[in-house]
Structure 1
């Protein structure tokens, strides 16, 4: 699994790690049941703190794309690549909305308005 970080990006390193995993799920490189690299090893390879990797993995867990198993690592749980694609698009949307000054409530309102038939 290839993960590259851009230290000049406005995205946090943890968000960049999560985004890389989402892309690998979306393109089929990672499938349901596959294990993610151990946080300690990935942190060493990326020259970042292990807790940065764990924060990235937690973001994926919060999006229901992975499951964190104590002592056994992170495992992909997403059933379809489409889930990862939508999750990645949602992350980009939220980041853009926040950069333009939108609040959580205004973001929710906008999404709810667009969901109306």
Structure 2
């Protein structure tokens, strides 16, 4: 899998990287047991600080999407095998509705973040 980051984006680099891994797991592009590049290797290929990659990997570990194993590196966790079909359908519907309304990506993301924040406070 090819990871890309945009150093000019408002989103932090670690969040961009973690988001790409999340999307790949949910989209089925990364299956359980798949090894991710070592943090050092990925940092070198993206030309970012090692701690940026480690931060992304730690966030994904805390969410249960990857396991960090000494000597084996980062591996997609069994949780990555969950059926994300309903979530993918909802995301497709959201993207279509936002596009139909002519909403900018930043606006759509802001609405999603606000909605998720309300859910977290319950």
Q: So what's the TM-score if we normalise by structure 1?
A: 0.71
Following the alignment from structure 1 to structure 2, what is the Cα–Cα distance between the partners of residues 31 and 50?
24
Shift of 1:14: 0.5
What per-residue deviation string (whole Å, max 9, x for no partner) do you get for residues 14-54 of structure 1? 11111111111122221011111111111000000111101
| SS of match in other structure, 1:58 | helix
| SS of match in other structure, 1:30 | coil
Q: Contact between 1:68 and 1:75, CA under 8 Å: does it hold in 2?
A: yes
Q: Contact between 1:14 and 1:56, CA under 8 Å: does it hold in 2?
A: yes
Q: So what's the TM-score if we normalise by structure 2?
A: 0.68
Shift >6 Å, 4+ stretches = none
Question: Which residue matches 1:80?
Answer: 82
Question: Which residue matches 1:96?
Answer: 113
- The structure-2 alpha-carbon separation of the partners of 1:71 and 1:5, relative to structure 1 and needing over 3 Å to count, comes to same
Structure 2 runs not aligned, ≥5 long: 92-108
Question: Which residue matches 1:52?
Answer: 52
Following the alignment from structure 1 to structure 2, what is the Cα–Cα distance between the partners of residues 112 and 12?
22
| More RCO (CA 8 Å, sep 6+) | 1
| SS of match in other structure, 2:84 | helix
